[in-house]
Structure 1
Amino acid sequence: MEESNELRYMSLSETKKWMRAVIEESKEILRMNDRHLMLMSAYFGSQGSNSSAKSEMESIRELLGIKEYYFIIALNKSREWLEELIVFYPHLKSIKDQLDNKIKFIKEVRNMREHEIEYYKGKGWKQQDFLYKSDNSITDATSTVINDGAYLVGGRISVQEALSLFESFYPLITQKLNDFYMEPPNSI
């Protein structure tokens, strides 16, 4: 495979992989959050304490934080590989444009979560953007807000919106990769 075909393959394969990661992490976050909400309702609705439910709720909260981190990484990697992909498939720029228009702050939230200690110390590169104000809340980039059913990572990235977008993008990228496999050698 010549170099440009290798890069084209790599951009397709990696874009597809990271898009799938966004889908899988989104689904898992939403599933775990539903379980957490159910446990909270049962815990606070009962007369007396339920240490088993409390322990499971704490475990889910920890795991959600981990999953959110993977989700943000997958979003950022998807976006980065998509940029490489449109070098070979300029018509796919519309996918990146949709992503950038509907899910803003991917890179910023990723960087703030990656460098959270610096931000907590007030020394982040974009410290002025660490706190985010929406219509009814103020949150920092490492927090999660659930607002009108929307699970917002960093208070600004909707897991549901990401899932919806990436479920629509993934088949297109999968088809492009399948088409690539069907091309005769050196057809670029």
Structure 2
Amino acid sequence: MDSWFVTNSVQKWLKAVVSIGNTLIEMSGTQADIHLSSTYEHFFVIAVGKSLEWGEELNGMDGQKYREFCHYRDRLPEARLVRNMREHDVAYLKGDGRRQSEFVKELDVNGGSMSASVDGTSTIVCDEGYLIGGRLNVKEAVRSASEALQKI
């Protein structure tokens, strides 16, 4: 693959993260259809996953762009895990997920005033943000993807 194609692919998926993420954030402030929100969440985690997959291809092609990608990637440490749990939800819900022991995330939310248990297929909207799988912060992903787009 050539550098142009890889860069274009990274940019395409980062733009998808921003677009779909902003739609999710908008929807969270309304009485949106839960099924529609869930569908958008699925497309969002796929877009994040594809941006991470294509970003890794910059390694060895363009050192500066790869470093910028790494700043984005490092801000989303559990994004791939959430993507995999969402993509393989049936297996995880049956107890057969590859990383089943990590399926449920225990969280302190709303500044520590509450505790929550969130599985990888669920979402919680709290003071800390719109957290898909209790781990992937939509607003943080959108912000990080927007920053990366300016530099890649």
What fraction of aligned residue pairs are identical, expressed as a percent?
A: 31
From 3, 15, 25, the equivalent of 1:8 is 3
User: Quick check: 2:123–2:130 contact (8 Å CA) kept in 1?
Assistant: yes
CA distance in 2, matches of 1:23, 1:71: 9
State the match for 2:145 in structure 1.
166
1:20-39 correspondence to structure 2 within 5 Å? 20-36=15-31
Count of residue pairs the alignment pairs up: 146
TM value normalised by structure 2: 0.90
**Higher share in helix:** 1
From 60, 68, 80, the equivalent of 1:107 is 80
CA distance in 2, matches of 1:112, 1:121: 12
Q: State the AA in 2 paired with 1:171.
A: Q
TM value normalised by structure 1: 0.73
Pair 1:67–1:19, CA change in 2 (3 A): same
Q: Report the secondary structure of 1:145's partner residue.
A: strand
Q: CA RMSD in A?
A: 1.4
Pair 1:111–1:12, CA change in 2 (3 A): same
Query: Where do 5+ consecutive residues of structure 1 fail to align?
Result: 1-5, 37-56, 174-188
Query: Where do 5+ consecutive residues of structure 2 fail to align?
Result: 109-114
CA distance in 2, matches of 1:129, 1:121: 14
**Higher share in strand:** 2
CA distance in 2, matches of 1:137, 1:93: 36
